[in-house]
A and B are shown apart, each in its own frame.
Chain A
Amino acid sequence: MPEGIIPELLIVLALVLLIAGVVVATRRRPKREGVATKEDIEAVEPAVETKAEPERPTQEVIETPSLVTAEPVARPTLRERLGKSRKFLGDRLADAFRGAPDDATWDDVEAALIQADIGIGAATKIVEDLRSKARERKVTEAGEVRSLLGEQLVELFDTDRDRALGFASDGPPVWLVVGVNGTGKTTTIGKLARDLSERGRSVALAAADTFRAAADEQLGIWAERTGSVLIKHQPGADPGAVAYDALQHVRAKGVDVLIVDTAGRLHTKTPLMDELGKVRRVIEKESPVQESLLVIDATAGQNGLVQAREFAEATGVTGIVLTKLDGTAKGGIALAIENELGIPIKLIGVGEGLEDLEPFDPKTYVDALLT
């Protein structure tokens, strides 16, 4: 028998592929009934507006959000917030950074990085680079390794990168919030709405999660708490239609920012990812999407990278929101996402409250990671 292949399995595979292929092919045909599709929405679109290729408005960054610039208000620093419950790599490394660096030091550093969910491949590489740097600079004290490691980690980020959320120069900016189930999308939207409304911007929230039980009511409570407008349809309605209506509302009423909440979905579910792509296209027929924010749970392991890749493909992710950093998880996978996929981490979530959202800053993050 030829090596590595089993005839039985090949047959199963052939049959399954064949049937699966037919199912997929036939399934794409029927349209769901009673649900507005993109075509329906195109039909209600005023013909005048569709003719010319709309000029892509330049993205203008408004410097106001406290999420972007440091606020003078006395708010606890990230390290203080995080310090109350968690120690980053700090205490794990305390021992490692004593005496002269030896094999144990490097092993400890690698272990700490792995435990931060940075990924075994990345961890190994960081430690290798660190070792050669330490050799080059003739580092004799393990304590110095810490600052070298800090440098090394910060270098993984593009520190010059603009991490502010995008605003449009004309018309209200649209921010789409996406991610797998339960990562904190709806809560993050509540926090964003508060931040905007605190600085005098009116906000509309579109409840385009029409699937999850009480998702619209959950968003409704955040809308109430932040004085935002909620646009919702019936449960089970087409999410694209909700987004479209919200956009019309925002234009008619001159609302400043539209944030669209979407249902959590696993990136492996093609129909659901297609649906998300559709929501985006529905919006983009009318107005560019300034931000498509992918919410990643800091507790997530290596799958986070896969998520980011798939969502980026489906909706063109412009930034990452890393939530639940108030636990002991370090969210190292976000580092891999930024480093490998070039998607910037823009915000971090550090609690369930309205004010528990912060701008992401690589240096602060790495500092907190090592202290």
Chain B
Amino acid sequence: MFDTLTGRLDDIFTRLRGRGRLSEKQVDEVLREIRLALLEADVSLKVVKAFVKDVKERAEGAEIHKSLTPAQQVIKLVSAALIDVLGHEAVGLEHSSRLPRVLLIAGLQGSGKTTAAAKLARLIKSDGRRPLLAACDLRRPAAVRQLQLLGEQVEVPVYAEEGAPDPVAVAGNALAHSREEGFSDLIVDTAGRMHVDKELMAELGSVAQRVDPTEILLVCDAMTGQDAVNVAESFVAEVDVTGVILTKLDGDARGGAALSMAYVTGRPIKFAGVGEKLADLEPFHPDRMVSRILGMGDVLTLIEKAESVFDESEAMAMEEKLRKAEFTFDDFLSQLKALRKMGPMSQVLGMMPGMGKLSIGGDEVEAQLPRVEAIIHSMTSQERNDPAIIKGSRRSRIARGSGTSVQEVNKLVKQFDEVKKLMKMMSGGKGGPRLPKGFKLPPGVGI
């Protein structure tokens, strides 16, 4: 799943190894693969066409970096073009001189609007502001109840009218109420609507007109396919969309809809929903999305970070050890120190392609680390250097010394052994070192 584009480009680039300018034929060949990769990532065809054309133009006018391989050049070009569409940095919410600042949440059914509204309320509240949520989805069964419960969870009040029929009126009343009560922000949750439903789209227009929002945020499911472009076009035609919230990014969808949305709306993707819990909202990072759409995990960033914390010659020596399965617990401890400089484990894990499958939160890893370290610290230096001798009584001694259980010690030793084997397997074998499936490195990196 993560190795489609990189795998294909690899094939092309093994044929064009060497340095220098890309010929037009090579560019075309590469662009065909880029097109495929984007389509596989669910970028809408229309957007793919426009995008590929743009990259081609850039490639023709591109300066040649002597130091770069063709692979690196193309990846750079494509990444730059993608970043230009997705934005260069995370963009936050607009400020408003008027109070309250009104945020209108809109989108298709089930995209994650109500959840996003509550997540935003939580975020705004944590800034020391006083948000109010307005329940203007009067169609879906128990939608108001859902928002009320979520409001309770984030301790933000919810404006709702029992049994009211007209969302436009409720939105207007919510605005009046928030002014009277001096709320800083009004977050309006609306019913899901199909972009082709004329009546409901007009209703959304009326709600917007009534509350005159600072932000109209279009909520889009990261799993959306080709239809993203139609959805974006219709919503933009009806209301003045100011930004996009991309939800359910915690899954393994490649998320090409992000590109379609950004391209069609010309508006930034402001937030990413990364889970069902109300804290699971992040600023949107265009650079991470680029890697994701291209199917590279975030290996590029990971490599940069790794290179900045690991000493090169030491790293080479360590690789040698891993390759020969001579890696010891002492090595583990010293490398762990460097690893921690790369940032919180959740971030490091997030950048690893394929790690999503493991479904372990980085926080969990982080929490587990002290125990792992304690166990290793309770080993004698002989044991650390030769884990094979850690048997029966040694294990119980280590467990006692570290305040853990024998099972935990067993697990660590066993896991250590397995990882050693895996590393040996990965880095050995014919045809040079190979990463396991899902861990394929992007071309142009390390070539």
Contact = CB atoms under 8 A, between A and B. Distances in A.
Interface of A: 1-27, 29, 85-86, 111, 114-117, 119-120, 180-184, 190, 211-215, 217-218, 220-222, 266-271, 297, 299-304, 306, 324, 326-330, 332-333, 352
Contacts of A21: 415, 418-419
B446 A1 contact: yes
B369 interface: yes
A86 B356 CA distance: 36
Contact of B419 (A14, A86, A119): A14
B392 interface: no
B317 to A, nearest CB: 8
20 contacts: A8-B303, A9-B303, A11-B306, A11-B315, A14-B322, A22-B368, A23-B360, A26-B408, A85-B196, A117-B227, A182-B112, A217-B145, A220-B142, A266-B252, A299-B223, A300-B224, A303-B42, A327-B227, A332-B225, A352-B140
A19 B372 contact: yes
A221 B369 CA distance: 47
B318 A27 contact: no
A7 B419 contact: no
Interface centre among A19, A29, A180, A215 (most CB of B within 10 A): A19
A302 B356 CA distance: 17
B355 interface: yes
B109 A184 contact: yes
Interface stretch (B59-67, B80-88, B422-430): B422-430
Chain B CB within 10 Å — which of A11, A306, A324 has the most? A11
B156 to A, nearest CB: 14
B256 A23 contact: no
B339 A15 contact: yes
Contacts of B40: 119-120, 302
Contact of B111 (A9, A182, A333): A182
A299 B112 CA distance: 14
B29 interface: no
A13 B306 CA distance: 11
B254 interface: yes
Given A15-B332, A22-B368, 4 more contacts: A12-B342, A217-B142, A299-B108, A329-B226
Residue in B369, B407, B412 with the greatest tally of chain A CB atoms within 10 Å: B412
Given A24-B358, A114-B226, A4 B251 contact: no
Interface of B: 1, 36, 39-42, 44-45, 108-112, 139-143, 145-146, 148-150, 153, 194-197, 221, 223-227, 230-231, 248, 250-254, 256-257, 276, 299, 302-303, 306-307, 310, 315-316, 318-319, 322, 327, 332, 335-336, 339, 342, 345, 348-349, 352, 355-360, 364-365, 368-369, 372, 407-408, 411-412, 415-416, 418-419, 422-423, 426-427, 432-435, 439, 441, 445-447
Contact of A327 (B195, B352, B408, B446): B195
B307 A8 contact: yes
A19 B369 contact: yes
Given A9-B306, A12-B342, A213-B150, A301 B196 contact: no
Nearest to B447: A3
Contact of A180 (B141, B224, B251): B251
Q: Which of A8, A18, A19 has the most CB of B within 10 A?
A: A8
A15 B358 CA distance: 14
A301 B248 contact: no
Given A4-B441, A26-B408, A10 B146 contact: no
A355 to B, nearest CB: 15
Given A21-B419, A25-B411, A180-B251, A6 B303 contact: yes
B391 to A, nearest CB: 19
Given A5-B427, A12-B302, A23-B360, A211 B276 contact: yes
A324 B348 CA distance: 37
A302 B254 contact: yes
Given A14-B419, A266-B250, A27 B360 contact: yes
A182 B342 CA distance: 36
Contacts of A304: 223, 225
Contacts of B142: 214-215, 217-218, 220-221
Given A299-B221, A301-B42, A222 B359 contact: no
The 10 A-B residue pairs whose C-beta atoms are closest, nearest first, are A301-B225, A182-B110, A7-B319, A301-B42, A221-B141, A8-B306, A303-B253, A218-B142, A213-B149, A329-B227
Contacts of A266: 248, 250-252
Contacts of B319: 5, 7, 10-11
A12 B224 contact: no
Contact of A7 (B110, B221, B316, B407): B316
A27 B368 CA distance: 10
B5 to A, nearest CB: 12
Nearest to B39: A120
A304 B143 CA distance: 26
